[in-house]
Amino acid sequence: MSKIGKLRRLELGEIKKIWPHEEKDLSPWIMENIDALNEVLELQIEIESREEYIYNFRIDLTGTDNYSQMPIIIENQFGESNHDHLGKLITYSAAKEAGIMIWIANKFQTAHRSAIEWLNKISPEGMSFYGIELEVFQVDNSRPAPNFRIVAGPPPSKRKTISPELSPRNKRYLEFFEEFRGRILSIQPNFTRAKALPQSWWGLGIGRSGFSESSCFTIDNKFRVEIYIDMGKREYNDTAFAKLKENRVAIEEKFGRELIWDPLPDSRGCRIYFATDGTIDDGEQKLKQLIEWGAPLVIKFREVFGPLVKNIQIEA
C-alpha cells in the first residue's frame, strides 16, 4: 500500500502568496474559475464585470445566473469575515437590485454565518445570500488546491436549481441548446462557458449587468436572438434603449439588415432582436437550420452591442 501524504489547510499568509492582491489576483482567479463555484452552488453564473463602479464604490464581481436570470454580485475578501464586507454585500445588493448575493472569505465567523442565515430568512422568495469559504489545501509539497465550501446559504425551498427529472419537452430544449452552444463554440471557441439548460431559452451575459443576450423559442412559434434590457427600473431601461437606438443606422449596417426595436410598453424591460419561424417541435432538419441561422447572430450581437452597452451612462 502506498503511503498517503499529509493533508493540511493553508494559513492566510500562505494564501496571500498565491493571490498577493485581492483586486488584481483573487478576483480574476474567481472569474476564471467560476465553473468551480457554479458546481458547488448548482447555478449557472456568468461574470459580466469586475470592479464595477456603483456610486463611490466598486463591486468585486457582477453577473447573471443564466438559469434564473437573477443578477448576481460577488464580494470576496482575504482572511476572516468582517462587518465591513457584510455591509458592502448589503449595500451593493441594494444598488444593483441583485437576486443572488455571494460573499467569499477564507473563514467565516459564527456571527456572520448567522447574519447570512437571517438575511435568507427575512428576504423575499427570489433573493438568496451565500457565505462561501475559499479553502486552500496541500498534500505534502503538492501544488495548492483551492476549494469552495458553502457555510451559509438559503434553505432548499428557496434555491432554484435544475431538476434532475426532465419532461420530454424540456429534454428537447436541452438537446437543442447543447447543439446550439456547440455550434457557437465551433465558430468562436472561447465565446462562453455557460451551459445549455432544459428550458425554452438560453441566456448569456454581454459584459454589463442589466443587459443580457438571449436565444429563445416564443409562444408565437418564432425563434429569436435578442438583447434584453432590464436594469431594475423602467426609466433606466428606457434611457438605455433610447441611447442604443441613437446608433440604429450604424448598428443595422453592421448586421446588414433591420433589427426589431421593441420598447415593450406593457413590461419593465426592452428588447432588440431578430426572429425567424421555428418551434422546438420542428423536425431535425429545421432545427439544424435554426442553429445555423442563430449561432452566428449570437456572436455578432455581442460583437456589436457589447462595447455599446458598456459605455451607456445612466444617471441614478
Q: Which domains does the chain have, with CATH numbers?
A: 7-158 (3.40.1350.10), 168-310 (3.30.1460)
Enumerate residues 6+ apart whose C-beta is below 8 A from 27: 50, 51, 60, 61, 76
CA–centroid distance for 157 within its chain:
21
Residue located via cell numbers 456571527: 111
**Of 186, 171, 198, which is closest to residue 292 (Cα–Cα)?**
186
Q: Are 138 and 8 in contact (CB under 8 A)?
A: yes
Q: Strand order in 201-205's β-sheet?
A: 201-205, 211-217, 222-229, 270-277, 260-262
Residue 123 scores a pLDDT above 70: yes
Residue 10 · residue 138 · CB < 8 Å:
yes
The model's pTM: 0.64
Cα–Cα distance measured from residue 280 to residue 173, given in angstroms and rounded to the nearest whole number: 7
pLDDT, tens digit, 9 for 90 and up, residues 166-215:
778 888 999 999 999 999 999 999 898 888 888 888 988 887 878 889 99
Confidence of residue 70 (pLDDT cuts 50, 70, 90): confident
Q: Return the ∠ at Cα 69 (arms to 185 and 296), rounded to 5°.
A: 25
Rounded to whole angstroms, how far apart are CA atoms 312 and 238?
Answer: 12
Q: Is the pLDDT of residue 163 over 70?
A: no
**Is pLDDT above 90 for 120?**
yes
Q: Which of 62, 100, 56 shows the shortest CA–CA distance to 211?
A: 62
What mean pLDDT comes out for the span 271-296?
Answer: 96
Least reliable range by pLDDT among 71-80, 86-95, 165-174: 165-174
